């Protein structure tokens, strides 16, 4: 795709939100939103988010490299 001159400026996606309460309905229902959010905003949770983001970026860069080479 890139080799043919196409450029991706923006990709709209759904379902990639981190903090969406819809994803944790059961837990929020059991604990209440404020208590759940307090546990969700821990340093350990942020470290996990950074690791996941790093994996996503690495995968995207790997895919881009493959597309550029083809």
**Among the listed ranges 4-8, 12-16, 57-61, 64-68, which one has the minimum average pLDDT value?**
12-16
How far apart, in Å, do the first and last CA atoms of the chain sit? Answer: 8
Asked if 14 contacts 22 with a C-beta cutoff of 8 angstroms, the reply is no
Tell me the per-residue pLDDT of 6-38, one tens digit each, with 9 for 90 and over: 777 777 776 666 666 778 889 999 999 999 989
pLDDT at 41 over 70: yes
Rounded (10°) CA dihedral 17, 22, 27, 32: 100
Distance of CA 48 to the CA centre of its chain: 11
Average pLDDT, the chain: 84
């Amino acid at each position: 795709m890139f080799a043919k001159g196409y450029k991706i400026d923006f990709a709209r996606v759904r379902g990639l939100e981190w903090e969406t309460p819809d994803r944790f309905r059961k837990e929020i229902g059991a604990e209440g939103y404020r208590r759940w959010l307090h546990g969700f905003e821990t340093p350990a949770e942020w470290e996990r988010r950074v690791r996941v983001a790093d994996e996503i970026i690495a995968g995207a860069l790997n895919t881009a490299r493959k597309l550029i080479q083809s």
